[in-house]
């Protein structure tokens, strides 16, 4: 009987461990999401407090200073002196924030896939707008402005696309934008506009506004999303 009791106990324990394991692995995504959420909330509080200290020091004028201690248990903290930015990167195995979305708390921004930059520059000696992420740079012509239409061909707005992973320029000489396959829809007057400039953006976007000789006015959106290795071109 003692031998039987021992075997029975071992079997029972085996069943208990297996059942616990099944419950654990089923609940793992929820557990990971909770852990990520807790970490994010801690860093939100840390960065919000840090922003408050920075604003106080800035308001006190030259020579003012504070000593701040930051407890970063997970992720990586970066200080970008060129752009006056402090940012924290954290890779979470469970989705907490939808990709390419963000929340703003004063000067503090929290979001996912915020790896795009959009800024004014020159490309090939021409004034332009640059869209840049981890994989691509795309430069577009700066033409006219809102209220100051300039004659141009919309098929020639895109100056260059460079693929960082391949380390080579992409062929864009065959790009042609038309309506109804009519060549006169490509030319007219209008402007190009950078919709949002800065770093750590979910996507960069340049709008090309065209009042075409074809008699139709339309917009073309050039978009580069964080994490993607292609440029989106869509009409409105």
The pLDDT value recorded for residue 14 is 45
pLDDT tens by residue, 173-196: 888 999 999 999 999 999 999 998
C-beta of residue 189 within 8 angstroms of C-beta of residue 149: yes
Confidence band, pLDDT 50/70/90 cuts, at residue 27: low
Q: What is the spatial distance between Cα 195 and Cα 205, in angstroms, rounded to a whole number?
A: 6
The pLDDT value recorded for residue 184 is 95
Confidence band, pLDDT 50/70/90 cuts, at residue 26: low
Average pLDDT score over residue span 24-49: 73
Q: What is the spatial distance between Cα 87 and Cα 102, in angstroms, rounded to a whole number?
A: 14
3-state SS assignment for residue 1: coil
Confidence band, pLDDT 50/70/90 cuts, at residue 119: very high
Instruction: State the Cα angle at 63 between 84 and 46, rounded to 5°.
Output: 45
The pLDDT value recorded for residue 19 is 53
pLDDT tens by residue, 122-173: 988 899 999 999 999 999 999 999 989 999 999 999 999 999 999 999 988 8
Confidence band, pLDDT 50/70/90 cuts, at residue 10: very low
Q: Where are the alpha helices (DSSP H) in the chain?
A: 2-60
């Amino acid at each position: 009987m003692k031998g039987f009791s021992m075997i029975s106990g071992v079997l029972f324990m085996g069943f208990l461990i297996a059942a616990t394991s099944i419950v654990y692995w089923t609940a793992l995504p929820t557990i990971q999401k909770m852990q990520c959420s807790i970490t994010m909330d801690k860093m939100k509080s840390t960065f919000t407090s840090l922003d408050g200290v920075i604003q106080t020091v800035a308001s006190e004028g030259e020579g003012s200073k504070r000593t701040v201690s930051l407890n970063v248990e997970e992720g990586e903290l970066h200080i970008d002196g060129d752009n006056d930015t402090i940012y924290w990167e954290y890779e979470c195995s469970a989705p907490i924030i939808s990709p390419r979305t963000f929340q703003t708390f004063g000067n503090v921004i929290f979001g996912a896939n915020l790896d795009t930059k959009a800024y004014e520059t020159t490309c090939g000696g021409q004034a332009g707008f640059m869209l840049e992420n981890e994989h691509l740079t795309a430069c577009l012509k700066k033409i006219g402005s809102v209220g100051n239409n300039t004659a141009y061909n919309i098929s020639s707005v895109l100056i260059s696309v460079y693929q960082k992973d391949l380390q080579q320029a992409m062929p864009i000489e065959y790009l042609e934008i038309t309506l109804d396959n009519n060549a006169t829809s490509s030319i007219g007057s209008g402007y190009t506009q950078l919709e949002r400039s800065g770093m750590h953006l979910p996507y960069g976007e340049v709008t090309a506004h065209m009042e075409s000789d074809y008699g139709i006015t339309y917009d073309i959106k050039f978009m580069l999303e964080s994490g993607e290795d292609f440029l989106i071109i869509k009409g409105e």
